[in-house]
Amino acid sequence: MHEAPTAEFILKKPHWVQDRLVFDIESSRGTFSPYFKCDTLKLQESIEASLLLSTLPAMCDSRRLTSETPVSESLLHNMRQFSEIFSSWFPEYHALELTDISGDQAVSRNTGRVGSFFTGGVDSFYTFIKHRSEITDLIYVHGYDLQLDDLSRREAITEMGRQIAEEANIRFIEIETDSQKLFRAFGEWGLKSHGIALGVAGRLLAGHLDKIYVPSSFAEEDLMPWGSHPDTDPLLSDETVEYVHDGCEASRVEKVQVIKDSALALDHLRVCWERVEGAYNCGACEKCLRTMTSMYAMGVLAECKTFPHKIDEKRIRSFLLTSSSARKFTNENLRLMESSGLQSSSVYAAWLKILSRSDSHNWRIWRYRRSMGKLKRAIHKVFLGRKVE
Ligand SMILES: [Zn+2]
């Protein structure tokens, strides 16, 4: 990397290095060269993808973007709006200044194909099932929600895609990229950058798909400034490819209620982000246990092949519910268990117990755990002469 000396960044078309499509993205922290690779389809050498990759660095560093290659007129218009929304949400960003760029008229390719981003989670399955008759392609991006070196889960996802493609007669598109480090350098992944990152991946499929669904992270009433949002995802569109943010009408529990009747979902559901070697879902993190609890309350946990069938209540009691979304999901699960007559179950008691803990009690527990962690590391350092995590 080298320091960028100018007040503007120049958009460049990507180039191929063997089977990898490589972009050169200028930033104040030097030039990033993320790659994208797809064995299923030929990725588009898209200057529009270069614009999306350059958006957060330019907004963060307050640099103009220019281009010698014409860029989709509609996308330029949309990205100005996108940047205005983002800069109103997050004060560290400035509105985009797009100068000396000639507009190009993007045209629909009318491929008749519709994609949906798909991780195997509750949101993904909900959107897939809801638009089952329309969706022809599911898209998974290796290097976004899981790290590229998480090889065992990468293989498991490829196998999941192969099976779903066969059973549902759809195409499963896998893209591999190391671009997350660029996005993370200019915005936290969940809060600011994963939506535009999906936008880049979809842009590379322009000409293969007309429309791409982006499964929502939150229900309408819980919407907040977030990387993928119904106000910003559609602005990554133009005539060539349209993005549709989908699923805000349903809560998390309502989505589980829809997917619980799908054999595909019960066979392949994957919600876990924890890295546990060899595990598809760890079955022990808050997200896993929250989903398992919904399925338990609906009477389908035993039918789900990707989770343990026993819920560890002791593990639930160890969680600290500090975020409003975690507390909301817990409340939803408690209401669901009440409607199923499970108020006297130990699972209900465990969730109620942690929901009832005050913020100050949670804080004391967190502080105690942090002290014990430091003590443990110090002991290992002294006696074993090495640092432990
Ligand atoms: Zn988990």
Residue list, CB under 5 A from ion ligand 1: 272, 274, 282, 285, 288
The residues facing 37 across adjacent strands are: 176
- 40-54 pLDDT, tens digit each: 999 999 999 999 999
CA–centroid distance, 282 to ligand 1, in Å, is 4
CA–centroid distance, 58 to ligand 1, in Å, is 36
Instruction: Say if residue 26's pLDDT is above 50.
Output: yes
Check residue 367 and give its pLDDT: 86
Check residue 2 and give its pLDDT: 41
Give 81-87's long-range contacts (Cβ < 8 A, gap of 24+): 81/235, 82/55, 82/196, 82/232, 82/235, 82/236, 83/55, 83/59, 85/231, 85/232, 85/235, 86/59, 86/192, 86/232, 87/59
Distance in angstroms (rounded) separating the CA atoms of residues 250 and 126: 9
CA–centroid distance, 171 to ligand 1, in Å, is 27
β 171-177/35-38 pair status: antiparallel
Q: Which of 352, 341, 279 is nearest to 313 (CA)?
A: 352
Check residue 6 and give its pLDDT: 56
Distance in angstroms (rounded) separating the CA atoms of residues 103 and 116: 28
CA–centroid distance, 285 to ligand 1, in Å, is 4
CA–centroid distance, 307 to ligand 1, in Å, is 9
Distance in angstroms (rounded) separating the CA atoms of residues 371 and 377: 10
Check residue 249 and give its pLDDT: 97
CA–centroid distance, 234 to ligand 1, in Å, is 31
Distance in angstroms (rounded) separating the CA atoms of residues 351 and 34: 43
CA–centroid distance, 372 to ligand 1, in Å, is 23
Check residue 143 and give its pLDDT: 97
Per DSSP, the residues of 280-325 read SS-S-SHHHHHHHHHHHHTT-GGG-TTS-SS--HHHHHT----SHH
Instruction: Say if residue 19's pLDDT is above 70.
Output: yes
- 111-123 pLDDT, tens digit each: 999 999 999 999 9
Instruction: Say if residue 1's pLDDT is above 50.
Output: no
β 64-67/97-98 pair status: parallel
Instruction: Say if residue 378's pLDDT is above 70.
Output: yes
Does domain 114-246 sit in CATH 1.10.760.10?
no
CA–centroid distance, 311 to ligand 1, in Å, is 12
